[in-house]
Amino acid sequence: MGYQEIWQPYRDEVEERFPLVMERLESIGQEETVSQPYLGYFRHVAAFLAELGRLEEEVVSRDWKAVSLEGLRQENYRLYQDVLPEHYGESYGNPAYAVQCLGEEYGRLLSALYADIRSLIPYAYEGRVYDITIFSELFVEIYNLFEGEGLPAAKEVQQIIYWFFHDYGEVFTEIWVLAQTCPELDFYARIILDSDLGDLRYLYRYGAYITENEWRTAEFLNGMAQEEIQAMADTYTEGYRIGFQVTGKDLSKKRLVDLRYPIGFERMVRAAVGNFAKMGLQPVVMRGGELSFDGRGNRGRSVGSVSANRQYEYDHKSDKAIYWDKALVGRRLEALKAAYEGRKKEAAWYAGPAHIETFGEEGFEPKGNPYAYQFTEKQQKLNVYNANMSSEISNGYIREDERSFTIIAYPIPAIGEGYKEIFAKTVEVNTLDYKLYQDIQQKIIDVLDLGAAVHITGKGENRTDLTVSLHPLEEPQKETVFENCVADVNIPVGEVFTSPQLKGTNGRLHVAQVYLNGLKYLDLEVDFKDGMITGYSCKNFGTEKENQAFLKENLLKHHDTLPMGEFAIGTNTVAYRMGVDYKIQDKLPILIAEKTGPHFAVGDTCYSWAEDVAVFNPDGKEVVARDNEVSLLRKEDVGKAYFNCHTDITIPYDELDSITVLRQDGSTIDVIRDGKFVVPGTERLNEPLES
C-alpha cells in the first residue's frame, strides 16, 4: 500500500464535502451578512483557506520542474508573510492585534482559530485534503454565528471549537500513531530519496517556511565531496547502532527508525537512510507539533526549518487552553491506546528516533503577550497527567528497554561569517577520539566513586554552591556510580553522569545566561533541598510574577517541583574552546553545551522507564545509580515516578571554581580546581582551556 492509498479513506470521507466548503469560502468574500470589524477577519481567513484548498489540488499533480524557482519562492513567502516579524504587528495571528480589532471577547478566540488554520500549510503540500476540509467547515460554522444583526456569545464560539477537537481529536491521534509506525507514509522519504538535490526547488516541496538558512545549507552540502557526506552520515548512524550495542538491546528485532532532521540536510540524510537500510531499518517521519492539539510552539517537529516567527509560536503555544478539560484528555488517552492497540505489531518494530539538530540562530527572548492564552492551574495539572499517562501507554507498546536513539548537531548559516569554518570544526568535535576520552573519563570516575557527595562552586559572579549526594557502593570492585559516556546516542563525546541521591542534595545552582530548549534565561537560580526544587528565579521580565510564571511553564513544565535527575561533568574542552574562539557559546545547542562544563538536569533521570536494565561501563562495572527516591515510586504508583521532562543546565568552565569529592571520612579530593581538571591523567583536557 502506498502513500495515496493510505490517505484514500480520509479523502473518500470528505470527497463531496470539500468542493462544497470551498465554494462556501469563496462566497464569503462577496457577502455583507457579517458586520464590521468581524467581516474583515472572516474575509481574510476565508481567502487563506480557499488558497490552501486550491494549492492542495494543484500540488498533488504538480510538475515541479515546470515551476520556476522564483515562483516557488514567491508562493512560499505569500503563505507565510502574514506572521513574519515585519508584519506581525498587524496580523490576526497576533492575539494583541486581534483583540485590538475584534475586542477581547472574540479576538483571542479568533486569533487562536487562525493559528490552527495557518498550521495547515504543510498539509496542503502533503495532500491532506481531509484536514483542510474539516477546518474549513469549523471556520464556516463559526462564521455563520456572526451572520445577522446580533452577535454570538463568546461561549458559543468556544463550544464549537471544543466539540470540534473533542470529535476530531481521535482522528488526529490515530494519524499520529500511524505516522510513527507506517513506513508507507513516505511523503518525506520520497523527498529525500527521489529529489534531484542539486535542484533546490525540492526545498519547497515540504510546505515549510524556507529561509536563507535552508537554502545555503543545502548549497553547502551539495558542494561537499561524497566521502565527506558519507562520513557525516556514518557518525550519525553508527551512534544509533552502538547505542543498541552498549545497552545490550537487540536491534535485529526492529524495522523502523524515526528520522528527525532539518530541511537542507537531505544529502546527508539520504546517505544515512542507506546506512539504516543495511541495519534492516526503514525510515518513518512524524510531522507533529503543527496544530494546537499537538502542542504547537513546543519545537517538536520531526522535520523543520528556521521559524517564520518565534514570537508567533510562543504566543500560541497554549491555545489548547480554549478546550482542554478532563473529558477531552480522557478521550484522547483512550484514542491513543486504541490506536497503538490497532498497530501493536508495527509499534514493536519502532527502534527510536535519530535526531539531527542545528544551532546558530539568535537566542530567542520571548515577550509577554497579555492576550495570549495561558493554561489555568487545573489545566496545568491535566497537562502533567496527560503527559504521564501518554508515556505509560506508549511505553506499553514501544518498550523503553528495547529502543534507543541518537542525536547529533551541526551549525546553520545564521551562525555568522565563520559558518564554513564552524561547520568543519563541529565535524571535528563530533568525531573526536572516543577511546581517548573513555580512558580519561574513567580516571575521573575512579575518583568520584570514592565520594559520598560532590561539592560544586562557581567563581566570580556565579553564585553556585551546591552539594550533590551520591549513591553508596556496596561492592566497589564491581559497581560504579557514574556512567562513562562517549559518542554513541549523545554525539559528541564526552561526559560522566549519574542519577544523584536526592536526600542530602542541597544548595543553589546559578548561571548568568543560558539557553534551554531554544529559550533564553537571564540570571537563572534554582534552589534544591533534598534533591527537590524549592525555589527558582530569573530576570527575563520586569516583574517577579512574570518570571515565576515563565519558569513554572518552561523549566518546571507546570510541575510544582522537580527532582535533580542528573549530575554530570562534561569533558569536551575542545567544544568549549570552539565556542570561545568563534564567540558562539550562547548559540551552542544543549547537546554540545552540556559537554562543556558540569551540568544538572531537572526532571527525570537519564534512565527513565528503563531503570531495571543493567548498564555497564567499558571497565565491566555496573552503573548502579540508575534510580532516585522519586523514580523508585514506580514500584508503587508509576504516576508518581515520572515527570516526562529532562532539562540540562550547564555551568561553563569560565564560571566554575571547583568540583570537589567529599569522602565519608571527611577528607576531600578535587576533580576541578579554579576551572581546570586536576585528576592525574586528565591533563589533556586542560590544553584547550589554556590555549
- What kind and span of H or E run contains 549? helix 544-554
The pLDDT of residue 1 is 66
How far apart (Å, rounded) are the C-alpha atoms in residues 248 and 672?
33
Please give the DSSP secondary-structure letter assigned to residue 583. T
Domain ranges of the chain: 3-152, 187-362+378-407, 459-690
Segment 51-55 long-range contacts (CB within 8 Å, at least 24 positions apart): 51/79, 52/120, 52/121, 52/123, 52/124, 52/132, 53/18, 53/22, 53/25, 53/124, 53/129, 53/132, 53/136, 54/22, 55/124, 55/125
Distances (CA, A) of 315 to 46, 93, 97, 106, 558: 22, 9, 12, 16, 17
The pLDDT of residue 590 is 87
The pLDDT of residue 487 is 66
Q: How far from chain centre, in Å, is Cα 319? A: 18
pTM summary value: 0.91
Q: Is 455 left (phi over 0), alpha (psi -120 to 50) or beta?
A: beta
| Residue 91 · residue 83 · CB < 8 Å | yes
Judged by DSSP in three states, 502 sits in: strand
The pLDDT of residue 485 is 86
The pLDDT of residue 297 is 61
The residues of the chain scoring below 50 in pLDDT are: none
Copy the grid coordinates of residue 375: 493554561
The pLDDT of residue 388 is 87
| Residue 294 · residue 389 · CB < 8 Å | no
How far apart (Å, rounded) are the C-alpha atoms in residues 659 and 458?
9
The pLDDT of residue 125 is 96
